[in-house]
Amino acid sequence: MVQEIRSNEPQYVCVIAIEKMTGNQDEEIIALGVSADDAKAQAMQLLVDNYQCQEAQIVELMQQAKIEPIGQWCAPKMASEY
Protein backbone atom coordinates (compact mmCIF):
# COMPACT_ATOMS: atom_id res chain seq x y z
CA MET A 1 0.00 0.00 0.00
CA VAL A 2 1.33 3.43 -0.91
CA GLN A 3 0.32 6.52 0.99
CA GLU A 4 1.18 10.12 0.23
CA ILE A 5 1.62 13.19 2.40
CA ARG A 6 -1.14 15.74 1.86
CA SER A 7 -0.17 19.37 2.22
CA ASN A 8 -2.09 21.63 4.61
CA GLU A 9 -3.45 18.70 6.64
CA PRO A 10 -2.18 17.36 9.94
CA GLN A 11 -0.31 14.12 9.39
CA TYR A 12 0.66 11.38 11.79
CA VAL A 13 2.77 8.29 11.34
CA CYS A 14 2.38 4.96 13.11
CA VAL A 15 5.47 2.75 13.05
CA ILE A 16 5.23 -0.87 14.21
CA ALA A 17 8.14 -3.28 14.44
CA ILE A 18 7.03 -6.67 13.13
CA GLU A 19 10.28 -8.59 13.58
CA LYS A 20 8.57 -11.18 15.83
CA MET A 21 6.25 -12.11 12.98
CA THR A 22 8.72 -12.06 10.09
CA GLY A 23 12.05 -12.91 11.70
CA ASN A 24 13.61 -9.86 10.03
CA GLN A 25 15.05 -7.64 12.76
CA ASP A 26 14.69 -4.45 10.70
CA GLU A 27 11.17 -5.00 9.37
CA GLU A 28 8.41 -2.60 10.31
CA ILE A 29 5.22 -1.24 8.88
CA ILE A 30 4.48 2.44 8.58
CA ALA A 31 1.01 3.92 8.20
CA LEU A 32 -0.04 7.53 7.75
CA GLY A 33 -3.21 9.23 8.95
CA VAL A 34 -4.76 12.66 9.35
CA SER A 35 -4.91 12.05 13.12
CA ALA A 36 -3.13 9.79 15.58
CA ASP A 37 -6.22 7.56 15.74
CA ASP A 38 -6.43 7.40 11.94
CA ALA A 39 -2.75 6.40 11.65
CA LYS A 40 -3.31 3.72 14.30
CA ALA A 41 -6.41 2.41 12.49
CA GLN A 42 -4.51 2.29 9.17
CA ALA A 43 -1.67 0.35 10.81
CA MET A 44 -4.06 -2.10 12.43
CA GLN A 45 -5.75 -2.70 9.08
CA LEU A 46 -2.36 -3.41 7.48
CA LEU A 47 -1.65 -5.98 10.20
CA VAL A 48 -4.92 -7.74 9.46
CA ASP A 49 -4.76 -7.51 5.65
CA ASN A 50 -1.08 -8.27 5.08
CA TYR A 51 -0.15 -10.47 8.05
CA GLN A 52 -3.50 -11.99 9.09
CA CYS A 53 -2.91 -10.90 12.69
CA GLN A 54 -5.39 -11.86 15.36
CA GLU A 55 -6.68 -9.37 17.91
CA ALA A 56 -4.24 -10.44 20.64
CA GLN A 57 -1.26 -10.00 18.29
CA ILE A 58 -2.51 -6.57 17.21
CA VAL A 59 -2.93 -5.43 20.81
CA GLU A 60 0.61 -6.55 21.65
CA LEU A 61 2.13 -4.86 18.60
CA MET A 62 0.17 -1.63 19.11
CA GLN A 63 1.46 -1.35 22.69
CA GLN A 64 4.96 -0.97 21.22
CA ALA A 65 3.96 1.23 18.26
CA LYS A 66 5.27 4.75 17.84
CA ILE A 67 2.68 7.32 16.78
CA GLU A 68 3.91 10.85 16.12
CA PRO A 69 3.03 13.94 14.10
CA ILE A 70 5.08 14.28 10.93
CA GLY A 71 3.56 17.19 9.02
CA GLN A 72 6.01 19.78 10.27
CA TRP A 73 9.16 18.02 9.02
CA CYS A 74 7.97 16.53 5.76
CA ALA A 75 5.62 19.16 4.39
CA PRO A 76 6.41 20.32 0.84
CA LYS A 77 8.72 23.33 0.72
CA MET A 78 7.71 26.55 -0.97
CA ALA A 79 9.71 27.41 -4.10
CA SER A 80 11.14 30.46 -2.32
CA GLU A 81 12.74 28.22 0.35
CA TYR A 82 15.10 26.44 -2.09
The domains of the chain are located at 12-68
Per-residue pLDDT of the chain (82 residues; tens, 9 = 90+): 555 666 666 689 999 998 887 788 888 999 989 899 999 999 999 999 998 999 999 999 999 999 999 855 555 555 555 4
Residue ranges of E strands in 1-82: 12-17, 28-33, 66-69
Task: With 0.85 as the threshold, say if the pTM is over it.
Answer: no
pLDDT (tens digit, 9 = 90+) per residue, 33-49? 989 999 999 999 999 99
Spatial CA neighbour of 66 closest among 6, 12, 2, 7: 12
Q: What is the pLDDT of residue 23?
A: 81
